[in-house]
Chain A
Amino acid sequence: LRKNVEDFTGPRERSDLGFVTFDITADILNGKNASKNKTRLFKYNMVFFLTRIHLQSIFDWNVKQLFLYLSAEYSTKNNALNQVVLWDKIMLRGDNPRLILKDMKSKYFFFDDGNGLKGNRNVTLTLSWNVVPNAGILPLVTGSGHVSVPFPDTYETTKSY
């Protein structure tokens, strides 16, 4: 879904606002499996999709927390590269490693800088995470696999806001 409304969070011109709802299932295995494969399964169905991620042994002795975030990446006429974080979550060491979230709304407004979401077929959603150690290097890892969310060519008329 996409609407064109005044961007009330920042610049006061009309920009495209996108709405995406999604499901996330993350399975973090503190496994003995030595395989380094990260597999992701996506099923894109209407307005939601299911993410299943297997993160092998990410939580080792030096990991304090993971900062997970879902970002949408796309190109528009105005800007060659846009990345917008739609949702994030802090996962502390010791938290339930299986994450099953259904029908989530994006946490942050998906405003484009301009009107580039209209008819944009190539909006890609990827899940990434920042590993925060007890001490040491801060790596940023992007999960393999992604989902494409094509936006329609017409604006949604606002029924109730």
Chain B
Amino acid sequence: LYYQVLNFAMIVSSALMIWKGLIVVTGSESPIVVVLSGSMEPAFHRGDLLFLTNFHDDPIRAGEIVVFKVEGRDIPIVHRVIKIHEKENGNIKFLTKGDNNEVDDRGLYKEGQNWLEKKDVVGRARGFLPYVGMVTIIMNDYPKFKYALLAVMGAYVLLKRES
């Protein structure tokens, strides 16, 4: 049994190391995000997975797809940058809009906030995989499913016998 527990711990810590390593390599606090809304259709649909990078020196340019968080809210939003105004010292303020939305995102920003800044950015979308993120959405909407899945995975690892 001691060996099984060690086995389980190894798996968990390896997964954690890979995740943390990914955070460092991409520079983003959340290098993999799931698209939650249909505001970027037909490019991205709810349930798609996005890979992000957030290098400090990467300039934000019009047309890029950025993932940002509005101050005070936890939900990341994936939209496209449509306007930027950058000062000589690198200070930048920009406006975003979802491809599938009629209007820009000013309605989503904080009260009185008209522009986004670099600090609001979680990362830039660099790659994407369709549908794969659906699992996360299902687990969020049906927490019983999440617990069941964890229980099954835990049981499998603990009961697995090495021949």
Contact = CB atoms under 8 A, between A and B. Distances in A.
Interface residues of A, number: 33
Interface of A: 9-11, 64-65, 67, 69, 71, 73, 78-85, 88, 90, 92, 108, 111, 113, 128, 130, 132-138, 140
Given A65-B43, A67-B99, A81-B86, A133 B64 contact: no
B42 interface: yes
Contact of A64 (B43, B61, B80, B104): B43
Interface stretch (B26-34, B121-129, B151-159): B121-129
A147 B114 CA distance: 29
16 contacts: A10-B95, A67-B43, A67-B99, A71-B62, A73-B62, A78-B85, A79-B87, A80-B86, A82-B83, A82-B84, A83-B83, A90-B43, A130-B63, A135-B129, A136-B127, A137-B127
Interface in B76-111: 80, 82-88, 93, 95, 99, 104, 106
B128 A135 contact: yes
A23 to B, nearest CB: 21
B126 A138 contact: yes
Nearest to B100: A90
Contacts of A71: 62-63
Contacts of B127: 136-138
B114 A85 contact: no
By size class, the interface of chain B is 20 to 34
B42 A92 contact: yes
Contact of A84 (B83, B93, B99, B115): B83
A88 B98 CA distance: 12
A9 B106 CA distance: 8
B35 to A, nearest CB: 12
B67 interface: no
A132 B104 CA distance: 21
A111 B84 CA distance: 11
A11 to B, nearest CB: 5
Nearest to B92: A81
B106 A10 contact: yes
A133 B128 CA distance: 8
B130 interface: yes
